[in-house]
Amino acid sequence: MNLKSFLQGFGILAVVITLIPIIAADYWWIRMFDYPHIELTLLTLTAIAAYFIRFEIRNWRDYAFMIVLTACFLYQFAKLYPYTPLFPLELNEPTAMVNEETGMKILTANVLQKNEISDSLIADMRRVQPDVALFTETNTRWKNAIQEGIGASYPYKVEVPLPNTYGMMLYSRFELINPEVKYLVDDSIPSIHTEIKLRSGDRIRLHAIHPTPPMPQHNPSSSDRDAELMKVALEARNSEIPVVVLGDFNDVPWSQTVGLFKRIGELLDVRSGRSFYNTFDATSFIMRWPLDHIFLSEEFRVKTIAAGPNIESDHFHFYAELFLQPELAEQQKPEPASKNDLEKAMKQIQKEQEEDAEKGQNGSSNK
């Protein structure tokens, strides 16, 4: 195969892979194409440049190929554009008049359950000194290691260690008010929901989640993940106080599901207008994308965000320093969800419930 044929073949493949996630289906083999969008966009741009530099554009086939591939690249880039510094910030920086007592440092870290090296995580927690930290994939061994390493600095805790990679622990320097552990779609996958009282006395609502990803072996559709995100979005939407949602979403910010989650919850993404801050896969230099997220309601301002260093996990942890400035909320208020958005969210929840009931009738569900 010569170079021209190879580039043309890749161009066709790039168009197909780009279009597949548009299909309104939740099969794992469709949803998986949401993830490597950054890499696909860069490869498409490389193919366009190589074709243009190496070959003369002389006949209609060349023009058609270049037009289609360029349109494909523009569509790909449009999905990534909100996560570049070229895009306006969704969450602005705090003003000089901000009350420092409304500030909080928040962090979410997937520790990788099978990772037996806890020293790197503990050392970075001592460096960062988050006020609120969420740890996912925590079993009893990880619970003991984190408790021994930094537990004395965090008087408020919710600990749900599990052996199934869905254990979850929330540590806070601030008072937790009426914390709850919920199992929104599966009795083996917890989420943590609580109010937090800041130094200023202000109260906020926090939702910590780690929904299951679509996987061919265990969960061939994304219905559980999508339904959990929609349920949390509806809770955020109905909250009368400022909201934080954080955790390992097992989904990327440019997916249709996360986009719907944002609109339903009327939430803002700390990444928008800043950068990708890829958090997975920490073990790969090339195949990386953002799976760990922090979403906020419009009352918040964001001073800084960062992805953490290597802690021997397959994730980098994700960090943000926030301040409450509710008097400026109207400046960054998100667009309200449409009636169509709400209908889609309810359909996703209903679909998960129907699948749950069907599995229960077949005696194969653990929910």
For the CA atoms of 341, 343, 345, 350, what is the dihedral angle to 10 degrees? Answer: -170
Edge-to-edge strand list for the sheet holding 191-197: 175-182, 191-197, 203-209, 243-248, 292-296, 268-269
Q: What does the chain come to in residues?
A: 367
Domain extent listing, the chain: 3-83, 100-340
Residue 205 forms beta bridges with which residues?
Answer: 195, 243
For residue range 301-351, list pLDDT tens digits in order. Answer: 999 999 999 999 999 999 999 999 999 999 999 999 999 999 999 999 998
Determine contact, residues 255/21, Cβ cutoff 8 Å: yes
pLDDT value, residue 363:
61
On whether the pTM is more than 0.85, the answer is yes
Rounded Cα distance between 71 and 250, Å, is 29
Q: What are 49's two structure tokens? A: 């440049």
Residue 255 forms beta bridges with which residues?
Answer: none
For residue range 275-304, list pLDDT tens digits in order. Answer: 999 999 999 999 999 999 999 999 999 999
Residue 164, C-beta contacts closer than 8 angstroms, at least 6 positions apart: 188
Determine contact, residues 122/149, Cβ cutoff 8 Å: yes
Determine contact, residues 29/250, Cβ cutoff 8 Å: no
In the chain, the percentage of residues whose pLDDT exceeds 90 is 79
Q: Does residue 365 have a pLDDT over 60?
A: no
Assigned CATH for 100-340: 3.60.10.10
Tell me how far apart the terminal alpha carbons of the chain are, to the nearest angstrom. Answer: 52
Q: Please classify residue 202 by burial: count the beta carbons closer than 10 Å to its beta carbon, then call 0-12 exposed, 13-18 middle and 19+ buried.
A: middle
| Mean pLDDT of all residues in 183-198 | 97
